[in-house]
Amino acid sequence: MSSSDPLFNPLTVGDLEVRNRVWMAPLTRCRSLLPGHVPWQLNAAYYRERATGGLLFSEATEIAQEGRGYPGVPGLFTDAQVAGWRKVTAAVHESGGLIACQLWHVGRASHQAFQPGGKDPVAPSAIAAKGDVHLPDGSKAKYPTPRALAADELPGIVATYRTAAENAKAAGFDAVELHGANGYLIDEFLRNGANHRTDEYGGSVENRCRFPLMVIDALIDVWGKERVGIRVSPLGSFNDMTDSDPLPLYSHFFGELQKRGIAFLEIVGAIHGDDIDEDLMAKIDAAGREQFNGTLILNGGYTGDSAREAIASGKCDAITFGTPFLANPDLPRRLREGAELNESNPNTWYTRGAEGYVDYPSLDGGPVPTSD
């Protein structure tokens, strides 16, 4: 049924029928059960409350312990983690929602304290990110210099993504999103501030896209192209990321994604008030539209009205909301009714327990109705 409000027109994404265009962005919340990094009922309750979003993205989810860089984040490489995620996906499905898993390897944004055997984190090149890492004991340290991956190690990392994708299927997810944003492994290969390689995985735009596309191909093998997507943040500076010439890089990358026919591409713009070149960002978003025929999702600082405008003008097909969804479990209803929004409290973004997690009130104060 078509709606006069662009946010509430259903759309087909790959082979999924999605009921609206108010989607939940991936949000790390550090509340999995320790020591196994296992999702549990508390996480299921949080996602269930938000199931009226058209498509929910899970918080970034580690494909292996080597991919970990934050305390309390969930994984998808043990049987217990798969069983834990099943509780989450079942809760979302019972409420009529859909959920994609964001597959994550942090690359250099880690520390020996997270790594098996206290080894160095890995990255395309041995270049440390400027900034601090939050350690499991609550203290902070400078990001260490990572070890540059040898070319013959890369097929093994692709295989790890493949196994995680298989696990995502076993856990009942509806799709997978490759985390190619925010200064983690895939982004580190794409952008030449972090990738100084001189082999076939560095240098030219084609070479820098090679490893990310190998991973995409593995995800397609497991899921089929209709259920695979990727998130990128072409101008994001988080985790000390830069690129000398992003437009040709991403134009090429989007074209390669189109050749593979994946279902969706999510482009992150300015987040948390980042000062980015808006003209360049608009060109990259437009390149996404021109080069890629699947579902285009934009993210970063959208309100209900700016989201409506972006969709109505054809700039994109859907918007992912991060902090607004974090603080408003019934965000679709609030946007539909023009209701006021709860403010998100950054002090509880990454703490543990129910506070700041499942206690943001819905408009009625009770559970969020599932019919929205």
Active site residues: 184
Among 13, 16, 22, 27, binds ligand FMN (CB under 6 A): 27
CB of 30 to ligand FMN, least distance (A): 9
Q: According to the binding rule CB under 6 A, does residue 187 interact with ligand FMN?
A: no
Residue 370 neighbours by CB distance under 10 Å: 12
Footprint (CB under 6 A) of ligand FMN, residues 107-126: none
User: Which CB, 136 or 301, lies closer to ligand FMN?
Assistant: 301
Q: CA 358 to CA 240: how far, in whole Å?
A: 32
User: Which CB, 337 or 343, lies closer to ligand FMN?
Assistant: 343
CB of 84 to ligand FMN, least distance (A): 17
Q: According to the binding rule CB under 6 A, does residue 25 interact with ligand FMN?
A: yes
Among 28, 32, 167, 362, binds ligand FMN (CB under 6 A): 28
Q: According to the binding rule CB under 6 A, does residue 59 interact with ligand FMN?
A: yes
Q: According to the binding rule CB under 6 A, does residue 356 interact with ligand FMN?
A: no
Alpha-carbon dihedral sign for residues 232, 238, 239, 245 = positive
User: Which CB, 28 or 110, lies closer to ligand FMN?
Assistant: 28
Choose the stretch contacting ligand FMN; rule: CB under 6 A; options: 134-142, 255-263, 300-308, 352-360: 300-308
Residue 179, phi then psi, degrees to nearest 5: -80, 100
Q: Which residue is nearest to ligand FMN (CB)?
A: 322
CB of 307 to ligand FMN, least distance (A): 9
User: Which CB, 102 or 192, lies closer to ligand FMN?
Assistant: 102
Among 9, 115, 323, 328, binds ligand FMN (CB under 6 A): 323
User: Which CB, 268 or 281, lies closer to ligand FMN?
Assistant: 268
Q: According to the binding rule CB under 6 A, does residue 324 interact with ligand FMN?
A: yes
Choose the stretch contacting ligand FMN; rule: CB under 6 A; options: 11-19, 42-50, 136-144, 316-324: 316-324
Q: According to the binding rule CB under 6 A, does residue 322 interact with ligand FMN?
A: yes
188 and 107 Cβ atoms separated by less than 8 Å: yes
Among 136, 224, 261, 301, binds ligand FMN (CB under 6 A): 301
Encode the chain in three state secondary structure: CCCCCHHHCCEEECCEEECCCEEECCCCCCCCECCCCECCHHHHHHHHHCCCCCCEECCCEECCHHHCCCCCCCECCCHHHHHHHHHHHHHHHHCCCCEEEEEECCCCCCCHHHCHHHCCCEECCCCCCCCEEECCCCCEEECCCCEECCHHHHHHHHHHHHHHHHHHHHCCCCEEEEEECCCCHHHHHHCCCCCCCCCCCCCCHHHHHHHHHHHHHHHHHHHCHHHEEEEECCCCCCCCCCCCCHHHHHHHHHHHHHHHCCCEEEEECCCCCCCCCHHHHHHHHHHHHHHCCCEEEEECCCCHHHHHHHHHCCCCCEEEECHHHHHCCCHHHHHHHCCCCCCCCHHHCCCCCCCCCCCCCCCCCCCCCCCC
Q: CA 251 to CA 265: how far, in whole Å?
A: 13
Q: According to the binding rule CB under 6 A, does residue 267 interact with ligand FMN?
A: no
Q: According to the binding rule CB under 6 A, does residue 310 interact with ligand FMN?
A: no
Among 83, 237, 349, 363, binds ligand FMN (CB under 6 A): 349
CB of 80 to ligand FMN, least distance (A): 21
Q: According to the binding rule CB under 6 A, does residue 328 interact with ligand FMN?
A: no
Q: CA 370 to CA 372: how far, in whole Å?
A: 6
Q: According to the binding rule CB under 6 A, does residue 186 interact with ligand FMN?
A: no
Q: According to the binding rule CB under 6 A, does residue 182 interact with ligand FMN?
A: yes
What residues make contact with ligand FMN under the rule CB under 6 A?
25-28, 59-60, 102, 179, 181-182, 231, 268, 271, 299-302, 321-324, 349
